Amino acid sequence: MSDVTTRRLDLAGTRGFATPGAGRLRRRAIAEFGFGWLQQLWREACAGRRREGVALAAVGSLARGDGGPLSDYDLVLVHHPRGLSGKEVAAFADRLWYPVWDAGVRLDHSVRTVADCRAVASDDLSAAMGLLDLTHVAGDVDVVNAARSTVAHDWRANARTRLPELQELVLARHARQGDLAHLVEPDLKEAHGGLRDLTVLRALTEAWLTDRPHGEVDEAYERILDVRDAIHVVTGRGRDRLVREDQDPCAALLGHVDADSMLTELSGSARIVAYAVDGTLRRALQSQRARTLRVGPRRPQLVPLGYGLYRHDGEAVLGPSAEVTSDPVIPFRAALVAARNAIPLSPATLRNLAVHSPSPGDPWPEAARDVFADLLAAGPGVVTVWEGLDLAGIVERWIPEWAAVRSRPQRNAVHRHTVDRHLVETVVSASGFVRDVARPDLLVLAALLHDIGKVAGAMDHSHVGAGLADGILRRMGTGAADREVVVRLVREHLTLVELATRRDPEDPATISALAQAVDGSVMTLDLLRALTEADASAAGPKAWTDWRAGLVARLYAACRAALVSANGAGGPLAIEPIESIESLTLRPEVLDEVAVGHPHVTVTSMGGAHRVDIIDRDRVGLFADTAGLLAAHGFVVRSALVRTLDGLAVNEWWIDSPGGDRPLPDIIARDLVRIGSGDRSPLSRLQRRRATAATAAGPVRSAGSGSPDSTRAMVVSGASDTATVIEVRAADRPGLLQDIGITLARAALAVRSAHIATFAGQTLDTFYVTEFGGHRLAPARAAQAVAMIIDTCDGP
C-alpha cells in the first residue's frame, strides 16, 4: 500500500464514523490532502518553470469535495492551443500521470483544450454534466475558468433541447441498476436514489430550469456518502457496491446496532434522493414543454380531476375550494385521484395535506374506508403516490404500525424489495385479481397488511401480523365479519403455497388442512389464492415459478371443489329480493305523491357520502335513466339497492360527489319527470363527463395476470325460483350502470331487483331479471343477455 493511500485511509480513520457531521469533515480533509498532493506533483512536473496557458483541473468527487478514502481521481489537463506543442503537452501530462499511478491511485485522465472541453460536452451528455464541476487544482486558473464558463453557458443554452436525452439516460440507468432503497446489494453510486442522482440534480439546477430540494435531500446524500466511506475502509478498495459480507462490519463502523439498522437508514436516505430527482426532472421537463408551447404570458394549465384536485405540470394539485382543514377524507381522495391518473401528488400538496388535514380518527369515516380501498385497487399508479404520502408522514398517520416496516430490509434471496415496498408491490399485483374475487376490497387490504408483522424480533411474522392487522382494521372501523376475513388471510397467507409445495396436493388431509385454514369459506379460499399469487409475484420471479403455480392451482381447485360440494353452492350467495310492497313501510302521502306522477326523492348526507332514496312508478328504462341522471350530475354510485314491487320502484342509492355538490332532491325529481316524458336533455352532460373521464381523469387499469380489463358476467344458478339472477363484475366508469340498464331494456327484460356494489374500483352488480310476463329466462335468452352485458361493459 502506497504512502498516499495510507495517508488517505489515515485521514478517514476508524473513529468518529458514528459522530454526526464527522463524515463531512472527513471528506473535506481527504479532498484538501488530494489537492495539496496534486499541487506538489504539479510543481515537480514544472521543474521550476512557469507554465502559461496550462492548468490541472479536477472533476467528479474530488472536484466536489465529497470523495471517499479510496475514490479515484478524475483529472483534466487543460491548455490553450497556442501554448505548448502537442508533444510538449503529452510529455508534461506524463510527468503528472505517472506519479499518480505509481502511488496506486486509480486515475481517469484527459488532455483537452478549452474548445475540446466544449466539443466533448456537446457530444457526450455524461461528460457535459461532469465538466460542470470542473475545478482548478494548479496552474493557469484563467484556462480552467474559461473552460468551465463555456461549458456552463452551452449547458444553459441547450438544456431544454437536451432534457429528453437526459431523461432517457437517467431512466435507462435506473432500470439497469434498480432502486437503491430496495436492493439487497445496492450500488450506492449508480442505483436509483444513489450518488449519481445528485449530479443530475445539480445539472438541472445549473441549467436554470428548476430549483432542487435541499435540506433533507442534502442530509440523505451525506448519509449515503458515509456508507460509501465505510465500504472503502472495510474492504480497502474504492468500491461503491455494498455486498452482503461487508454489511455487518460497515454497520459496526458506522455505529449501528446491526446491519438491518444501517440498511434501513440507507434505504430511507435513498428514497428521499430518488423522490427528489424524479420530481425535479419531471418539473424541468414540464417547464421545457410549457416554454416550447407557450405563446404570450404563461398561465397555469389546470385540468379538473374531481374532488377539488387538478392536473398541473404532470402533478395533482389541490384547488382553492378543497376543505383541507376540516375534511379528513381529502387526503384519501387526493391520493386516489392521483393514482388513477398515474401522476404524483405535488410536493406542495403533500405538505399542505401533511400539515393541515385532520386525522381520520378512530374509527375512520365510512367514506375514508371506501376511498382507501379504491386507492389500493388503482393499479401501478399507487407506487409513486404511496411513496409521496409516506415521505410526507401521511401513511404513518393513517397506519402508525407502518413505521416499523418502513425501509426494513429482507435477508432473503427470494425478495427483491424492502418490507414496505413489497407490501405496496403486492397491492399492485393484487389489483390484477379484483375481478376474480367476490370482495376485492378485502383482497387489497390483506395485500397491504400481509407482511406487517415483519418487525424487529418477530419469530412468526404471520401470527404477529394478524394481531397487528386486527388492531389496524379496528381503528379503520372495519366490520367484525370483514375484519375476521382479512386477519385470517394475513395469518394464513403462506398456508396455500406451503401446503401445495410441501404436501401432496391431492391428499385428503392436505385438502382438509387448507379448508380449515379458510374456515370452510369458498370466498375466503378465493381471496387466499389471489393473495398467494400476488404476494409471490411481487416478491420476484424466483418466488412464483410455473412449477409452483401449477401445484397451487391443483390444491386450490381440489379444495374449492370440496367446499362447493360441502356447502351446496359454487359462488357467492345471491340476495333474495323483497317480494311485496307490504314488506316496506311507506307513508300514505308518499304513495299519493308517486301516484300522480311525481317521484319522491330524499337525500341524507353523511360526511362525504350521500344516500338518495327514490320512489317512483315503475317503467321501462327507469333504472337506466336514474343511473344515467346521477352520473350526469357528476355523482359516483358506491352502492345501490333497486327494487320493483307491485308496479312501484323503491330505490336506494349511495353516492359520492367528486365536485363537492350535495344532491338536490327537487332537481333529481324534476329531471326524472322530464326524462320520463321523453326529454333526454338532462342526460346530455353525461357524454361530456365520459369524454373528460377518458382523456383527463380516466382510471388506470390494474396490472396483473388477472386480466381486469375483461368483464365477467354469469348466471347464478339456483339463486332464485322466480327470476334469473345475473352477476356482473366490471371496472367502474361514468355511466356504466346506465349502459347496463339500457342493454337490459333493449333485451326486453324487466329488472325486478338490482343490488349494486362497488369495491375497490370494481363493480359487483347482481340483477334479478324476468321476461315482461314475469317468467324466468330460458337458457338461450339468459346466455344472450350475458353476452350483451359483456359487450356493453367492454365497449368504449
pLDDT in tens, 519-562: 999 999 999 999 999 999 988 777 787 778 888 998 999 999 99
Confidence band (pLDDT; 50, 70, 90) for 621? Answer: confident
> Rounded distance, CA 420 to CA 410, Å?
10
Exposure letters 34-47 (e unless 16+ CB within 10 A, then b)? bbebbeebbeebbe
Q: How far is CA 104 from the centre of its chain?
A: 46
**Residue 489 CB neighbour total at 10 angstroms:** 27
Distance between CA 431 and CA 702 in Å, rounded? 6
- The string of pLDDT tens digits covering residues 310-359 is 998 888 999 887 788 888 999 999 999 999 999 999 989 999 999 999 99
At residue 574, the pLDDT reads 38
- At residue 593, the pLDDT reads 81
| Dihedral angle sign, alpha carbons of residues 475, 479, 480, 483 | negative
Sign of torsion, CA 38 44 50 51?
negative
Computed on alpha carbons and rounded to an integer, the radius of gyration of the chain in Å comes to 33
Q: How does residue 637 score in pLDDT terms, banded at 50, 70 and 90?
A: confident
Taking phi over 0 as left and psi of -120 to 50 as alpha, with beta for the rest, 112 belongs to beta
Which single residue is written with the C-alpha cell 365497449? 795
For 284, other C-beta atoms within 10 Å of its C-beta total 25
Residue 290's pLDDT band (boundaries 50, 70, 90)?
A: low
Sheet holding 303-306, edge to edge: 303-306, 309-312, 315-318
- Window from 501-515, 568-582, 587-601, 727-741 with minimum mean pLDDT: 568-582
Q: Is the pLDDT of residue 177 over 80?
A: yes
Q: In sequence order, what are the residues at sequence separation of 6 or more whose Cβ sits closer than 8 angstroms to the Cβ of residue 99?
A: 41, 44
What confidence tens digit (pLDDT) does each residue in 42-97 have? 999 988 777 788 999 999 999 999 998 999 999 999 998 876 777 888 899 999 99
- In the block, residue with C-alpha cell 321523453: 678
Distance CA(601)–CA(680), nearest Å, equals 19
- DSSP symbol at 29: H
- Residue with the three cell numbers 367492454: 794
Dist. CA 744–CA 44, nearest whole Å? 93
The sign one gets for the Cα dihedral 579, 585, 588, 592 is negative
Cα separation, 33 vs 127, whole angstroms: 25
Most confident region among 179-188, 209-218, 439-448 by mean pLDDT: 439-448
Residue 705, pLDDT > 50, answer no
* One-letter amino acid of 787: A
**CB contact at 8 A, 79 and 146:** no
Angle, nearest 10°, between helix axes 347-356 and 381-391? 50
Query: What's the rounded mean pLDDT across residues 234-250?
Result: 91
Burial zone of 326 (CB within 10 Å; 0-12 exposed, 13-18 middle, 19+ buried)? exposed
List CB contacts of 135: < 8 A, sequence separation 6 or more. Answer: 57, 58, 59, 62, 63, 64, 144
Q: Please check the confidence at residue 704 and state whether its pLDDT lies above 50.
A: no
> Are 518 and 492 within 8 A, CB to CB?
yes
568: confidence class by pLDDT, cuts 50, 70, 90: low
Q: How far apart are CA 21 and CA 363, in angstroms?
A: 43
Strands (E), 4-153: 54-59, 73-79, 107-113, 135-139
Which cell goes with 282? Answer: 419531471
pLDDT band at 572 (very low <50, low <70, confident <90, very high): very low
Mean pLDDT of 276-286: 86
What's the grid cell of residue 725? 339472477
**Maximum average pLDDT range among 78-82, 389-393, 609-613:** 389-393
* Closest listed residue to residue 241, CA positions, set 180, 174, 197: 180
Provide the grid cell at 48: 521550476
CA distance linking residue 313 with residue 383, whole number of Å: 19
Q: Are 121 and 151 in contact (CB under 8 A)?
A: yes
Mean pLDDT of the chain: 85
| Site of grid cell 437508514 | 265
% of the chain with per-residue pLDDT over 90 = 45
Q: Tell me, what's the pLDDT at 170?
A: 93
Nearest to 412 by CA among 251, 536, 534: 536
> What is the rounded CA–CA span in Å between residue 160 and residue 717?
63
Rounded to an integer, the average pLDDT of 463-477 is 96
Provide mean pLDDT across the span 128-134: 92
State in Å, rounded, how far the first CA of the chain is from the last one: 71
Higher pLDDT, 399 or 457: 399
Residue 46 in grid coordinates: 514544472
C-alpha span between 598 and 616 (Å, rounded): 7
CB-hemisphere CA count at 13 Å for 565?
A: 7
Classify residue 562 as exposed, middle or buried by CB count within 10 Å of its CB (0-12, 13-18, 19+).
middle
pLDDT band at 295 (very low <50, low <70, confident <90, very high): very low
